A and B are shown apart, each in its own frame.
Chain A
Amino acid sequence: NAGVTQTPKFQVLKTGQSMTLQCAQDMNHEYMSWYRQDPGMGLRLIHYSVGAGITDQGEVPNGYNVSRSTTEDFPLRLLSAAPSQTSVYFCASRRFQGQTYEQYFGPGTRLTVT
């Protein structure tokens, strides 16, 4: 199993540009989420999904859109990039049912907005 994969690894955008960060998992996990990581801020939840067709907002959703058309994929869209969105973005997945909340993280996308 590849686990959780993310593309691209690095991206530089100009202010106002749009782009989609890709995330895929092959573990048949129902629950997927996007976090951003900034120095001293830990991991902040952007959006999450408990299954195909269901998404919800996290702590910092403004400026980001998500959709979940399949169990495997959970793309994150930046509609109009701003310098404040410069960050490292992690996608994660886990089982929705069961006793363990263990989340599996992807390798991350390092985004710079100039």
Chain B
Amino acid sequence: GQQVMQIPQYQHVQEGEDFTTYCNSSTTLSNIQWYKQRPGGHPVFLIQLVKSGEVKKQKRLTFQFGEAKKNSSLHITATQTTDVGTYFCAGPENENQGGKLIFGQGTELSVKP
């Protein structure tokens, strides 16, 4: 079945440093989503990318969808302590809207003030 891999599993940065997490799928994705989970909390939707090569920004966060629609990245510029948490990518298993949403293992970000 479809696999979604994320790297790195953990990332420790100093406040103000940049951070990037990468997501790779074993199959072509119709779209990819990103979620953030604060410690002790539940995943919260950040964004969805649909088009090949798409780039979207949310303040200090930049999301990219690869040209082949098999990989994606999330880049945070000048991290802050509020960015702490685990970031997940997720993609539907197939083109059908009823398809299962498969999550990567997540990247846990810690930020040292």
A108 neighbours in B (Cβ, 8 Å): 42
Among listed B13-21, B53-61, B69-77, B102-110, interface-contacting one? B102-110
Question: What is the count of residue pairs linking A and B with beta-carbon distances less than 8 angstroms?
Answer: 61
Measured CA separation A85–B72 after assembly (Å): 31
Contact B103–A35 (Cβ < 8 Å) = yes
Among listed A15-23, A64-72, A74-82, A93-101, interface-contacting one? A93-101
With contacts A48-B100, A50-B98, A101-B33 taken as known, whether A90 is within 8 angstroms of B43 at the C-beta atoms is yes
Measured CA separation A40–B6 after assembly (Å): 11
User: How many residues on A have C-beta within 8 angstroms of the other chain's C-beta atoms?
Assistant: 28
B92 neighbours in A (Cβ, 8 Å): 101
With contacts A90-B43, A96-B97, A101-B33 taken as known, whether A41 is within 8 angstroms of B48 at the C-beta atoms is no
- Chain A residue with the shortest CB-CB distance to B5: A42
B90 neighbours in A (Cβ, 8 Å): 43, 103
- Chain B residue with the shortest CB-CB distance to A6: B42
A98 neighbours in B (Cβ, 8 Å): 97
Contact B45–A106 (Cβ < 8 Å) = no
A107 neighbours in B (Cβ, 8 Å): 41-42
B81 at the interface (CB under 8 A from A): no
With contacts A102-B33, A102-B48 taken as known, whether A42 is within 8 angstroms of B98 at the C-beta atoms is no
A48 neighbours in B (Cβ, 8 Å): 100
Contact B105–A40 (Cβ < 8 Å) = yes
Contact A42–B88 (Cβ < 8 Å) = yes
B11 neighbours in A (Cβ, 8 Å): none
Contact A41–B105 (Cβ < 8 Å) = yes
Measured CA separation A40–B44 after assembly (Å): 18
Measured CA separation A96–B45 after assembly (Å): 16
| Chain A nearest CB, measured from B79 CB (Å) | 22
Interface of A with B (CB < 8 Å)?
Answer: 31, 33, 35, 40-45, 48, 50, 58-59, 90, 92, 96-108
Interchain residue pairs with CB less than 8 A apart (5): A45-B101, A97-B97, A101-B31, A101-B101, A106-B42
